[in-house]
Structure 1
């Protein structure tokens, strides 16, 4: 029986336009990972190589997915899911909603080629004027996807994830509210240590890097999480840290982008693997992970997901370095938490 196994996201090993997907997969396996999340942009770039242009057909995307499956099978990696299905839930533009529903029909074919059963959906982070405040509408949109997945044989699951800068669903509480409203057996959550601690405990726009009552608020949040969430709905988890910035992420900061929430800019540029104190890691990742693993009783894949400016560096050393950093973090995590890894 599987206890805990390490996974990593393909994009965490380097940017799609700079680093070959096959090579990234091979380096993940060589480092010792057992699973991998396939980032859609990686798959699309692989399909562009097949097409010879920037507009691959659905058939070429499916061909790329079949090839990726063959590579992962050869090196002994399990594809635990594909992500991210972006900007879907709660759209006020219902024509765009329908277009994305049609896109999901292709994604359902792609995941079959990948031999995986899970699609990850980040909560929508488009500007507020484009996203409904009506949680019934958000849930209804997601229920449509869940029903499409249930019609597949075998069924496809959807792991919904709150981002700490999402427009409407930024907390685990709101995430769980939506999951209960959707009320489908194949619709659950991806819990991410960064997105939980990054909202309740951390604030990159603050001079302290923390919220005013960080420790007490996080403890309260985690106690309620353990009492509230059904572990059967936790499809997989992501364990990752982030940098304590030397100055607040406000206008004038190198990571600032007008119109983007500070936490979004922080996430895209300055995540780290856990225990990388030399890179500025400072979030209470272990506290969040312990609540999920020991409090809820989660068992399964633990994905060492990363977004960082370091992934945009050129060179074949980049996937190697990120894979090695990720597995070092995993090994220390297993040791410190005394996990029964397999």
Structure 2
């Protein structure tokens, strides 16, 4: 499929609320204002923002399972997004759901959370739930793909009762599904019309190309030419394998190459190296990163997908220690990055000199 710039102009663009703002005073209403002012038409609504807004709005501490209070807050959030012309495209991030043993407290908690999040989806007006491939310890969830599939089928059935969908994402530090091929295999096996993929430029390139624990910042065991060829084969397979209607969105971010390699060990909280990398080292495209994210975006577009591009960046600066910025200016820069990304993807784009 030839990618023409004319065919890419109508791609809707979203921004994840968790990934803009760096200070306590950057409240959800201020985030929404910055996102809408920059021209975005949708948001990924992040549960930490729902929690913070609920506590502020209701003037009391609201916990992660205070469902009635969270739904009250979600209805108010919907009124604010409606007023700004923003669609709540998705609720995220629903984590560590699949794989828990039958009868375990973790499995009961997972389904309690699922039912609560569905209520919040109803209140905020979204029909899409993002589920990240679990990073719970293998000693607890194992590697039995059949069990993961069955759990996701059960969640899909719960969601379908409200006409909702499930977007399954590979987290590149996941215990059992770090690659796009893993989540696509699971989605195929789940085989439900309301289950598709949340693909991500960072999660794909950061798993198959980049590695924060090496001096080069690249996956070891190959020459750079071999690694690039391997990565391009993977992207070609993605574009030739996944039907466009099974991709629900593409999340966009790049990654800084760490100045010093990360330890290969988990940190004190149990977070794996690529998880730490993901949390603090993800800038906008063309703003200091080094991953081949254009190749990922091209592969997704070559499936025929023309749905949501959604910016989910965690830009702590090149050292990952945090950076101060104006949200309105940053959101405008993100929209500029989107224009640049589409131009780099288009095979017929001719820059004006």
TM-score between the two structures when normalised by the length of structure 2: 0.87
Q: For 1:232 and 1:221, how far apart are their aligned partners in 2?
A: 20
Matched, 1:194 2:210: no
Q: 2:297 corresponds to which residue?
A: 289
What is the CA deviation profile of residues 222-268 of structure 1, one whole-angstrom value per residue up to 9, with x for unaligned ones?
A: 1211222122110111121000122211279xx96574221111111
2:238 corresponds to 1:225: yes
* SS of equivalent to 2:174: coil
Query: Which residue of structure 2 aligns with residue 149 of structure 1?
Result: 159
CA-based RMSD of the aligned residues comes to 2.4
Moved more, 167-176 or 15-24: 15-24
Of 166, 172, 179 in structure 1, the residue corresponding to residue 174 of structure 2 is 166
CA distance in 2: counterparts of 1:273 and 1:260, whole angstroms: 23
Q: Does 1:70 align with 2:83?
A: no
Is 1:334 the counterpart of 2:342 in the alignment? yes
Contact 2:99–2:148 (8 Å) recurs in 1: yes
**Structure 2 residue aligned with 1:119:** 129
**Is the contact between residue 62 and residue 69 of structure 2 (CA under 8 Å) also seen in structure 1?**
no
Q: Could you tell me which residue of structure 1 aligns to residue 94 of structure 2?
A: 85
* SS of aligned partner of 2:260: coil
Q: Does 1:298 align with 2:305?
A: yes
Alpha-carbon shift at residue 127 of structure 1 (Å) = 1.9
Shift of 1:330: 1.0
Partner-residue secondary structure (3-state), 2:277: helix
Separation of aligned partners in 1, 2:182 and 2:67: 34
Q: Distance in 2 between matches of 1:185 and 1:67?
A: 31
Partner of 2:3: none
**Is the contact between residue 10 and residue 39 of structure 1 (CA under 8 Å) also seen in structure 2?**
yes
2:68 is matched with which residue?
59
1:255-303: CA deviations, max 9, x gaps?
A: 96574221111111101111113xxx1000101100101x211111100
Instruction: Give the SS at the match of 1:4.
Output: coil
What does residue 48 of structure 2 align with?
A: 41
Deviations 1:80-132 (A, max 9, x none): 10101111111237322122212211211211221111000001112221222
1:166 counterpart SS class: coil
**Alpha-carbon distance in structure 2 between the residues aligned to 1:81 and 1:16:** 24
Unmatched segments (≥5 aa) in structure 2: 1-6, 348-353
Change beyond 3 A, Cα 1:87–1:230:
same
Tell me, yes or no, if the aligned pair for 1:16 and 1:45 is still in contact at 8 Å.
Answer: no
State the distance in 1 between where 2:110 and 2:267 align: 30
Indicate the SS of the match to 1:226: helix
Q: 1:26 aligns to what?
A: 33
Q: Which runs of 5+ in 1 are unaligned?
A: none
Is 1:110 matched up with 2:107? no
> For each residue in 1:39-75, what CA deviation from the matched residue of structure 2 results, as whole angstroms up to 9, or x when unmatched?
0110011111234332353221111111111111111
2:282 match? 271
Deviation, 1:33, is 0.9
Give the secondary-structure state (helix, strand or coil) at the position aligned to 2:187: helix
> Structure 1 length as normaliser, TM-score?
0.90
